[in-house]
Amino acid sequence: MAHQSLKLVHLVFRHGERTPASTYPNDPYINDTFSPYGWGQLTNEGKMHQYKLGQWLRKRYGHFLGDQFNSDQVFAMSTDVDRTKASCQYMFAGLFPPKGPQIWNKNLLWQAVPLNYQHLKQDRLLLVRGCPKYSESLEEALKNKTIQDKIKSYEQLYTYLTNHTGVTVKTPWDVEDIYSTLKAEEGLNYKLPEWTKSVYPDKMKEVTAYSFELNVCSKELKKIKGGPLLKKILDDSKAKVEGKTKMKMYNYAGHDSTVANLMQAMNVWNGEVPGFNCLIMIELHDLKTYHGLKVFLKKSINEEPRELVIPGCESPCPLDKAYQTFAPMLPNNLDTLCKPKNQKFVPTKDAQP
C-alpha cells in the first residue's frame, strides 16, 4: 500500500519479453517467422509478465488510485512500436480490471485504456528521434581518446563475432544488436549456436551495457535523450503541487534505451542493461513542509524494488532542489537544441527501436 503522503507517481518501464527484432547472416533462425507472434512482438511470456506487473502495481498503488479507471487521473503513453503499445495494455489489464459500473461484459473482466503515442519520426519524449544535434554531438564525443581506447579494447570480441555471425562488427552497438537477438532467441528456448558459449551472455552483456553508456556519454547527449522525459516528470510534479492537475499516475511504456537514458540523466544508472519489464517509479510525496521525490527501481518481474538516491539530494529529494540538481539536463526548447552547429551536417539515420 502506498504511503499516505503520496500525491503522484510516474512509471517508466521497458516492454515485456519479445521475439527477435533483427537478425544476422549466419543466424540459424534467420528464416523463422516466429509464428504466431511475428518479428519484434511480445511473446506470451512477455504478455503475462506485463499483466503481472500491473497486478503488482495494483497492490502497491491500488489504495491511492482507487478501483475505477479515470482518464483525468491516469495517463498512458508508449512509443509508436507494437510491443510497447501492447505492453501498456497488458499492464493496465492487471492494474485496472473493470469494477462495478465499468464492467461492460461480465464474461470479460478487461477494459481498453486510452493510449497516447508520438509517431516514431516525431518522437520527442521516449526515444527522441530526428535530432541532428544528437548525431553531431555523439560524433564529437566519440573523438575522446579514453572512449576510443575503450571501444578498441573489445576488438578481439568484434573479430570473433564478425567471423561467426557473418556481419561486420566494429562497435559496441553492433555487439548490442547481436546480443539482443540472442537474448530473444534464448527466451524462446531456441538452441543457440555453439560459438556463443564463450561470449554470451557475460562478455556480450558487458559490451552491450557500455553501448548504453555511449548513447549519452556527455551532458549534452543526456540532455537530448533523457532530458525531455525528465523535464516532463518534474513539470508534471510541479503542476500537481500547484493544484493545476488532478493526475495521480503517468505511465510510459518504452524500451531499454528509454529506461537507461532517463536513469543516466538522473545520475542513478546502475551500469546494467535494463531487462524486460524493468520499471522505474518516481513518486511525489507531500511531506507537509515540502514536496519531495522518491525514486525506485524494480529490475525484473520477480525482484522487489529498491530505492535509488539521487546524488547530491537526500531522499525524498525536495522538488525545487531536484530542479536545481537536474538543471543541466533539462532542455528549454528541444527543436532549438536539435539544430546542429554545422548546418551542412548530415545526421545518421535513426536505428529501429
Domain ranges of the chain: 1-353
Q: Report pLDDT for 1.
A: 43
Block means of pLDDT (10 residues each) for the chain, 353 residues, are 86 99 98 98 99 99 98 99 99 99 98 98 97 96 98 99 99 98 98 99 99 98 99 99 99 99 98 98 98 98 98 96 98 96 86 87
Residue of 160, 167, 159 whose CA lies nearest to 198: 160
Identify the active-site residue in 15, 49, 255, 291: 15
Q: Determine whether domain 1-353 maps to CATH 3.40.50.1240.
A: yes
Secondary-structure breakdown of the chain: helix, strand, coil percentages, each rounded to the nearest 5: 45, 15, 45
Quick check: 3 and 307 in contact, CB under 8 A?
A: no
> For the residues of 106-129, what is the DSSP string, one character each?
TT--------EE--GGG--SSS--
Residues facing 13 on adjacent strands: 253, 279
Q: Report pLDDT for 138.
A: 97
Q: Report pLDDT for 262.
A: 99
Whole-angstrom distance, CA of residue 93 vs CA of residue 112? 8
285 as an active site residue: the answer is no
Q: Report pLDDT for 2.
A: 54
- Which one-letter DSSP state was computed for residue 347? P
80 as an active site residue: the answer is no
Q: Report pLDDT for 344.
A: 82
Identify the active-site residue in 27, 174, 177, 256: 256
Residue of 297, 46, 21, 45 whose CA lies nearest to 176: 21
CA distances from 341 to 89, 133, 137 (A): 41, 7, 9
